[in-house]
Amino acid sequence: MVGVGIDGARGGWVRITYDSISLCLTISEQLEDLLIDGAVHFVDMPKDLGTIEQPGRSCDAFMRSQLKQRKSSIFTPPIEEVLNEDTYEAASLKSRELIGKGISKQAWNLVPRIREFQALDRDDVFESHPEVCFAVMTGREAEFSKKTEAGEAERIELLRRYSNSSPWKWKMSNVQVDDIIDACILAVAAYEAGTTGMSTYPDRSEGEPFVAVPTIKER
């Protein structure tokens, strides 16, 4: 069993694989090139989006409910109907016209990656979120921001339960340390989901956008 965690970065996509021993790093410009047959993949990127009829995603509400201090890490993605606009201004204007809300620059900057994620036709690749996975696996949300030294340390403490590998020590100009650590958390979470059980919120049978996490332990 291999767990795969994937996060977007300035230099493309960051992939970490985890096989119960090692955390191994790969960088690629194409998401599809990072997929592994027989693995469970957790990707830190929205995939299925809200629509005019149902603009809010209940999976976003679930993720925010797991994060009291870190809920700002859950941003609201654009609705499906604006993904093909050519510019941020046009997309935000159309969103306001359709649902009464614009979109953030952060959300718009991820649109090319969202499109790439949506183009995948596989049943082993799931939207997930490293902060939520951390909370599920530890029973509490991270105390410190991942951008701080203390935040890195507490996330690495979790990863040390699974592996002595340290892929975040690689220095790259186009990939941030927190991108690698996020992908590591997702890889471990995907491994746990593939070996001990996976939960989706909402249940994927409901046909709504959902997020995947390892089966939540009793808190």
Q: In terms of DSSP bridges, do strands 211-214 and 3-9 run parallel, antiparallel, or are they unpaired?
A: unpaired
Give me the pLDDT at residue 69, please.
87
Coil/strand/helix, residue 22: coil
Coil/strand/helix, residue 113: helix
Q: How many CA atoms lie within 13 A of 166 on its CB side?
A: 7
Is the torsion defined by CA of 81, 83, 86, 92 positive or negative?
Answer: positive
Q: pLDDT by residue (tens digit) across 23-64?
A: 999 999 999 999 999 999 999 999 999 999 999 999 999 999
**How many angstroms separate the CA atoms of 131 and 181, rounded?**
11
> Mean of the pLDDT values across residues 155-171?
95
Q: Which of 43, 45, 5 is nearest to 25 (CA)?
A: 5
Reported as a pLDDT band with limits 50, 70 and 90, residue 216 is low
Reported as a pLDDT band with limits 50, 70 and 90, residue 217 is low
Q: Which of 16, 10, 35, 46 is nearest to 182 (CA)?
A: 16
% of the chain with per-residue pLDDT over 90 = 89
> Mean of the pLDDT values across residues 119-148?
96
pTM for the model: 0.96
CA dist list (Å): 197 to 45, 91, 215: 21, 38, 5
Average pLDDT of every residue of the chain: 94
> Mean of the pLDDT values across residues 165-181?
91
Coil/strand/helix, residue 58: helix
Question: 3-class secondary structure for 156-216?
Answer: HHHHCCCCCCCHHHCCECCECHHHHHHHHHHHHHHHHHHHHCEEEECCHHHCCCCEEEECC
The DSSP 8-state label assigned to residue 168 in this structure reads G
Coil/strand/helix, residue 116: helix
Q: To 5 degrees, how large is the angle CA 155–CA 159–CA 160?
A: 115
